[in-house]
Chains A and B, each alone.
Chain A
Amino acid sequence: MTDRQRLLAWVMALPAIVAAAALITLEAWRSRAPESPLFSTPFAYSLAEAVERDDVSRAYEFIRAGQDPNTPIEVRHAVLTGGRPLALLPLLWAVANDSGQSVRMLLGYGARFDPATQRAAMCLAATLMRERMLELLRHFGAGDPAPPCPAVDERDGRVAAFAAGSP
């Protein structure tokens, strides 16, 4: 085999060898560190955090682990809760954050959508002027709520009136 043949063969084969090595390296990395930002979305410490980010896969991990989608979760947000912790249904927290995918997931995996929840969700979406969310809720059967919706006090945070235990 001449030098030319060897050179030509290696310049053609090198990309294949590099690609194979890169794939092996990447897969080894993936199996050692599956939670690396290269392979997954940021870790969520709570259902509330996952819903707030509308990271539906992370949110579902909590449901799969047994968290009841009908039990209020503790949420905290500078504007939405005025920086105070509040207990809110996951579905309402998804509505408050305009997290449409989370709404779909929660409805698909056990979240109740009874008339009281529908009314609260519609009022909350209307209060926060979430037009797309209103459309989504109507799509799932919620009717426009009869007035009055709960009054919002900005100092308490915009969702305080919808928190568990609120009148």
Chain B
Amino acid sequence: MPRWTWAVLLVTAPFLAILCTVLWQTPFPVTEAVALFEDVTRAPVSQFFFPETAYYRPLFHASLSTLWHYAGSLEAALAGVRLLHIIPVVTLLILFVVHVRPTTLLEAAAATLAVAVLAGSRGFRDNLEIPLSYTIVGMPLALFAWVLANREPRAWRSALIVLLTLAAIGFKEQGLVLIPLVVTAWWMGAPGATRGTAAALAVLAVVYVAARVAVRESWAPFEQAIGLGFIELEPDQAEARFGGFPYLVYAYTAAATIGNVLFSEPTRGIFRIVNDTVQGHPEIWEMIHLLSSAAVTALVVWWGVRSWRADRTSLETRLFVVTIVVLLASGALSFNYSRDRLGGMAVPFYALSAFFAIRAAAGRALTARRPQFVLAAAGLALLAAAWQSRAISTIEIARIFSARNSSEWLLLLPDRRVEFAERPVYLDIMQSMIAQGTAPGPARPTHYPRIVKRTLGLP
């Protein structure tokens, strides 16, 4: 591996090590984890493969069930579930750097910025909630499928791409993104994305959608609360207003997820940054998020159009088109409600495009006249600083998740004992998990000075 690739891994290592430590120290939440473990205790694994639920994640539940039943002890099971979250995070970041493979100082600099784009994106950050590893598992799988699609064709690589797709879909519907990804790669001439692979995945998509639609008898028009403009509507409110013809709202919600990846706005379908700006009190972090995302998106568009015009069969053009397709697919799959985490599958490709775009912009700046060069250098330095602040805040947000989970174990037990009095399995599991929930030394947020909190976007 080139030494500059090692250098980028070295610079990324502290972030990665600290994030993994925080995830390892994070207690499981009462609100999500106990019910999940109750599910896998009560139901046989086979039941999770029957697609009758709106939240169909058979491999996630099967993994959880396997760990829960066969780990040997509660501690080992919980450690396994934590690793199910941590390993994809490590794999994603290392695979990203290795795939980018910077060979010069300039490429290494562009790669550090691209890593920050990946780690500082909301689609990454919002998928760090233990034990909900649905999408964080799919993200490295999608990136790996892309890597394989751009290698020389081999039968085992084709088979592996299909397996990766099945695994991603098995963890969450968002894994379906891999299908248009590979089909587009084939269409754009990626050597490892063969016609057979594309055809197999197309069949898989048809079978999956048919099975989901056929088995489940009725679908609620809105499964969760949706954002619309500056407000949030609960499912029943949304159904009352748009239940007759929800398709325009679906389109809005899908666009909101795409907008969140590209501009960090809206969040959950709500234009909070715009609202705060119009009201005259935008936060520092809001401006950092909006402007840094808009700047990277502008660079990606410039680079993509430039690549398209230069050579429609190049790797860079292929990546640009695949990024657009993955973004559209992520948006489409979140038509029912928009959340930051639902853009997660597109984030590795957005960050990958950012690397090529930043490298191209740097190359362009090098040949510019002195004043333009100085301006471009200052702009790229500011952009790098902004994204690094976002990456740091990702760690702090993970610490906040940890503190919140810890508080839940101290505050929610009396209510839960009443609410779940009829569910002895739930109560037994909750009781058995108190020790991990209240163990000393969970990751806690850093009490930064107010100005730092306002810059990082911390409560």
Interface string of A81-95 (1 = CB under 8 A from B): 000000000000000
Question: Could you show 30 A-B contacts with beta carbons less than 8 Å apart?
Answer: A1-B106, A4-B366, A4-B373, A5-B366, A6-B105, A7-B377, A8-B106, A8-B362, A9-B106, A11-B377, A11-B384, A12-B358, A15-B381, A15-B385, A15-B388, A16-B11, A16-B115, A19-B389, A23-B395, A24-B14, A27-B14, A39-B444, A57-B410, A101-B407, A101-B411, A104-B410, A105-B411, A107-B413, A108-B410, A140-B414
- Interface check A109, CB cutoff 8 A: yes
- Interface check A162, CB cutoff 8 A: no
Please tell me if the beta carbons of A1 and B112 are within 8 angstroms of each other in the complex.
no
Minimal beta-carbon separation of A62 from chain B (angstroms): 12
Given contacts A26-B446, A64-B440, A104-B410, contact A12 B362 (CB under 8 A): yes
- Interface check A37, CB cutoff 8 A: yes
- Interface check B41, CB cutoff 8 A: no
Please tell me if the beta carbons of B446 and A39 are within 8 angstroms of each other in the complex.
yes
Minimal beta-carbon separation of B190 from chain A (angstroms): 29
Given the complex, which residues of B lie within 8 Å of A23, measured CB to CB? 14-15, 18, 392, 395
Minimal beta-carbon separation of B108 from chain A (angstroms): 7
Per the 8 Å Cβ criterion, residues 102-127 of A in contact with B are 104-105, 107-109
Given the complex, which residues of A lie within 8 Å of B11, measured CB to CB? 13, 16-17, 20
Cα–Cα distance between A4 and B106 once the two chains are bound (Å): 10
Interface string of B82-118 (1 = CB under 8 A from A): 0000000000000000000000111011101101100
Please tell me if the beta carbons of B380 and A8 are within 8 angstroms of each other in the complex.
yes
Shortest Cβ distance from B441 into A: residue: A34
Shortest Cβ distance from B113 into A: residue: A12
Please tell me if the beta carbons of A10 and B392 are within 8 angstroms of each other in the complex.
no
Cα–Cα distance between A22 and B392 once the two chains are bound (Å): 9
Select the residue from B105, B115, B358, B412 with max chain A CB neighbours within 10 A. Answer: B105
- Interface check A131, CB cutoff 8 A: no
Please tell me if the beta carbons of B410 and A14 are within 8 angstroms of each other in the complex.
no
Cα–Cα distance between A61 and B415 once the two chains are bound (Å): 21
Please tell me if the beta carbons of A109 and B380 are within 8 angstroms of each other in the complex.
no
Please tell me if the beta carbons of A16 and B380 are within 8 angstroms of each other in the complex.
no
- Interface check A18, CB cutoff 8 A: yes
Please tell me if the beta carbons of A8 and B377 are within 8 angstroms of each other in the complex.
yes
Please tell me if the beta carbons of A8 and B109 are within 8 angstroms of each other in the complex.
yes
Please tell me if the beta carbons of A38 and B112 are within 8 angstroms of each other in the complex.
no
- Interface check B406, CB cutoff 8 A: yes
Interface string of B391-405 (1 = CB under 8 A from A): 110010000000000
Please tell me if the beta carbons of B406 and A19 are within 8 angstroms of each other in the complex.
no
Cα–Cα distance between A108 and B30 once the two chains are bound (Å): 13
Minimal beta-carbon separation of A105 from chain B (angstroms): 5
Cα–Cα distance between A103 and B11 once the two chains are bound (Å): 46
